[in-house]
Structure 1
Amino acid sequence: MKKTGWLIYNKESSKINEGFITWFIEEATKLNIDLRLLLKEDLSYGVLNHRLFILHKGVTLEKPNFVISRNNDPLLSKQLEDLQIKVYNSAFTSDICNHKGKTHQFLANKDIPMLDTLFINRDEFEPNYLPFPYPVVVKDVTGRGGNEVFTASSVEELRTLLWKVQAKELIIQRMGDVPGRDVRVFVVGKTIIAAILRYSDNDFRANFSLGGKARLYELSSEQQALVHKIIDQFDDEFGFVGIDFLFAKDGSFIFNEIEDVAGSRTLYAHSNVNIVKLYLEYILKSLE
């Protein structure tokens, strides 16, 4: 029996990811899935007559078997789940992984190496009381793609920076041992699919979208074990994510963040992995 699904993007992201969306639709067709693109701007949802609802262009659609949410909106994902629709990634994953503070808070105390991290509200923070030395990295908790990431080398620089940034919720982290290099591990369900080393000679950020370079990276057994330890903390919540790591001086991994709406341009450019097919096959299997 043919499965039905919604692929949700906002309008801006749908234009940027037109090729990726086409890839999704084509692979879905091969797998006998009726996958329909819905724009977030066309959806309305909430409570009506004491009951949860969701409308598309003002009309109630037949519920799909699943939703792939390529939109950072935990509230929408939770609405869909409460309407008994399976969502990938789950609302829990979306809530935790789209907030860098929540991600670190959730994974702390679980023997997962991570940078010293301070959770702050810009308007309620005194820079004189930083509990670790400079230099530091300042991040918008909801930033993506290396955007809204800054450095400060002194309390004066930090104070000035906090006046300039727009976001109120931030994390401040001790600068990593090896700036400009990180590894993204692509995960579908509980399976490690591939890893990509991203590096930059000109920037402390290694993001491919900011001009960094990339190549396939072979994980050691210790690194694989750390990835699986993180995966296990989320039970069966992952559909498709990217888990990012920095390097310690000894070459071991330091957890950095989890990308809920993971981009895969580097994987496409440097491998023959059909990540969309693998993702859709995982969804079909999990729906059985």
Structure 2
Amino acid sequence: MHVHGWIIYNGSLPGNKFVDFAEWLQEAALNRKTSAAIYKNSELSIMTGQTDLELINKQNFPDYVLFTDKDIYLARQLEMMGIPVFNSSSAIETSDDKIATYLALIKKKLPIPKTIIHPKIFENGLTDHSIISTAIQQLGFPMVVKEAFGSFGEQVYLIHNEEELIRKVKKLKDKPFVFQEFISSSCGRDIRLHVVGSKVAAGMKRTSSTDFRANVTSGGNMEAYEASNEEKALAIQAAEAIGADFAGVDLLFGPDESPIICEVNSNAHIRNMYDCTNINVADHIIDYILHKIG
């Protein structure tokens, strides 16, 4: 039986890194004598009828969808039409929201930095200053403020004093965010492990001498990294906690070098990992999917 897949990315975003990810996955599928077509999310319009869903401009359903976008509504509609979607809409939704991710991790009793979720406020609402006082008392300075939604290390801020914290909270207004413990032992360094199924396919250590964040996009350096059994097990548990079939899991170095989960990215790009390790994670992802739907 010939297997045919769809690879979906968001065509509205500038730059080529998003289509680049899709093309790596497509090449891996073609190398396995299967076919995979790449679509922008805008090319797959779905009409909701009185009782059913209908693809407007594509008639032949694929055997699977590899969803590299965050268009959760489209992913959910494809699932409702009976198409296997990797990662699932629920995994993408949880991963996209860092607060939801932390709650999923804590539910499984996995280690994360001490975190205080800022209460929801509306656009014209005012922050109760007592929550700021509580955050300072519990977490101290420096402190990390992290928006629930953001990528590539952006929307993450290192705060050094109360005045700076008050300014940042006022600027964020009604955006969801957390106050978080700053893990000083991991300043400017972390680990990215790419989990596929129940194994770690590749790993790299990222370091920065100029930023508390180690993201390569923010100017960090990278080197191949062989994770310990403890680090591998934690990364796999983190991906499983959000229901992801594959994910990039970022680990921090705790005070005693024990791993602490920083983030879980269900749509982690793979070019940097390949450049660093010469391991093509796309091959592992396609092999996993073909086995899963087999």
CA distance in 1, matches of 2:29, 2:170: 47
Aligned to 2:9: 9
Aligned to 2:91: 93
> Residue 232 of structure 1: CA displacement?
4.3
> Residue 167 of structure 1: CA displacement?
6.5
CA deviation map 1:6-46 (0-9, x unaligned): 11111126733444333322222221222111111223235
CA distance in 2, matches of 1:217, 1:68: 27
Aligned to 2:271: 265
CA distance in 2, matches of 1:60, 1:69: 16
For residue 212 of structure 1, the aligned residue among 220, 237, 241 is 220
For residue 73 of structure 1, the aligned residue among 54, 57, 71 is 71
Aligned length: 283
CA distance in 1, matches of 2:254, 2:62: 45
Give the aligned residue type for 2:189: R
The 8 Å contact of residues 71 and 261 in structure 1, kept in 2 or not, is answered as yes
CA distance in 2, matches of 1:270, 1:183: 13
Aligned to 1:222: 230
The 8 Å contact of residues 47 and 53 in structure 1, kept in 2 or not, is answered as yes
Equivalences for residues 40-55 of structure 1 within 5 A: 40-45=41-46, 47-55=48-56
CA deviation map 1:183-235 (0-9, x unaligned): 0110111111121101100001100011100111121222223223334435x
1:114 paired with 2:112, answer: yes
Aligned to 1:128: 133
Q: Secondary structure at the match of 1:108?
A: helix
Give the aligned residue type for 1:152: I
Q: Normalised by the size of structure 2, how large is the TM-score?
A: 0.89
> Residue 138 of structure 1: CA displacement?
1.2
Aligned to 1:155: 162
Q: 1:143 to 1:167 in 2, by over 3 A?
A: farther
Q: 1:125 to 1:53 in 2, by over 3 A?
A: farther
Aligned to 2:188: 180
**CA RMSD, 1 decimal:** 2.0
Q: Secondary structure at the match of 1:143?
A: coil
CA distance in 1, matches of 2:285, 2:25: 10
CA distance in 2, matches of 1:240, 1:172: 28
CA distance in 1, matches of 2:79, 2:217: 32
> Residue 272 of structure 1: CA displacement?
2.1
Q: Normalised by the size of structure 1, how large is the TM-score?
A: 0.91
CA deviation map 1:244-283 (0-9, x unaligned): 1111121110111101111123211112212112211111
> Residue 99 of structure 1: CA displacement?
0.7
The 8 Å contact of residues 6 and 66 in structure 1, kept in 2 or not, is answered as yes
Q: Unaligned stretches of 5+ in structure 2?
A: none
Give the aligned residue type for 1:87: V
> Residue 69 of structure 1: CA displacement?
0.7
CA distance in 2, matches of 1:47, 1:28: 31
Greater share of residues in strand:
1
The 8 Å contact of residues 14 and 21 in structure 1, kept in 2 or not, is answered as no
The 8 Å contact of residues 117 and 178 in structure 2, kept in 1 or not, is answered as yes
> Residue 72 of structure 1: CA displacement?
1.3
> Residue 109 of structure 1: CA displacement?
4.4
**Which deviates more from structure 2 when the two are superposed, residues 136-145 or residues 5-14?**
5-14
CA distance in 1, matches of 2:146, 2:71: 19
Aligned to 1:193: 201
CA distance in 2, matches of 1:21, 1:107: 28
Aligned to 2:178: 171
Give the aligned residue type for 1:33: T
The 8 Å contact of residues 190 and 238 in structure 1, kept in 2 or not, is answered as no
Q: 1:19 to 1:73 in 2, by over 3 A?
A: closer
Give the aligned residue type for 2:30: T
CA distance in 1, matches of 2:206, 2:91: 24
Aligned to 1:287: 293
Q: Unaligned stretches of 5+ in structure 1?
A: none
CA distance in 2, matches of 1:47, 1:192: 39
